[in-house]
Each structure stands twice: as structure tokens, then as C-alpha cells.
Amino acid sequence: MITPLNLPKADLKLSKKDDQVFVWCILRKKNLVCTPEEWVRQHVVHYLIGKGVPEGLIASEFNLEYNGRSKRADIVVFDREQNPILVVECKEPRLELTQAVFNQIASYNHELRVEYLMMTNGLNHIYCHVNQSTGQVQYLKEFPNLF
């Protein structure tokens, strides 16, 4: 069952093969198994595009290294000079946005050094501004204007 989300309706292309539902990823240009987390991730990608973020500046499943371990950030948005400015951590709707989720995205930001963080389970969204000089995190009421 696909959960309705607290995000604008997205024009997702779904297909089915052998009782498995797939969703087309416009960034990676391929069908992906439509897990609950992927459902959220694809909606967020379309949400970002709707907020004026150019498709070419969004990376999905972005590889990075932290403490010698390979990690993947769900979504990273870059500015026009290709500097990362936003990292998004997506969770499936049944999972809460906890301190552990914040710690996860903060570890990605240790490497990426972005100005904005977003955590979402598709139902609840948390937006943060990170002061790069002090490391202070300020919670925002709404999605920041990136472009």
C-alpha cells in the first residue's frame, strides 16, 4: 500500500512487474523498487523541483565518505557553482524523525558542509539552517528559498 504524504502531489510514473511496484526516478533515469522510503524520496525530488531547484542540481543517493566509511545521502542539492547547499534525509512514513535521524544527517554534513538540512518521513518535515562559522543549528518554520 502506498501512503499519502504531506507533500504536493507528484507526477510519478509507477509500473508493476511480478507483483513488485517500481517508480521511475527522473534523476537516475531508471525504475527503482518503490519501497516506502523511495516513495518519500521521489516525492521530495519533485517537491524540490517545484520549489525552483533545477533538476540538474539535485543528486539522489549521493556517495560520500565519513570516518573512513562509505555513506549515501538520500538527496543533495548543489548551487550553480556545484557546491552542496542542502542535504535531505528521507525516512519511510512509519518512522519518526528522532535525534538519531538528526545525528545521521549531521554526520553527512560533517563532510558536505551545507547551509541547510531537511529531514522528512513524508508526513513531517524538519528544516534547519547551519551556521558554518559556529556550527549552530537554527530550526526553520518552512523550506528555505534556495534559488
pTM for this entry: 0.93
Strand-pair partners of 138: 129
Are 53 and 146 in contact by the 8 Å Cβ rule? The answer is yes
Model pLDDT for residues 51-109, shown as the tens digit of each residue = 999 999 999 999 998 888 899 999 999 999 999 999 999 999 999 999 999 999 999 99
| Sole residue written with cell 510514473 | 13
Q: What ranges do the domains of the chain cover?
A: 14-140
Are 114 and 79 in contact by the 8 Å Cβ rule? The answer is no
* CATH architecture group of domain 14-140: Alpha-Beta Complex (3.90)
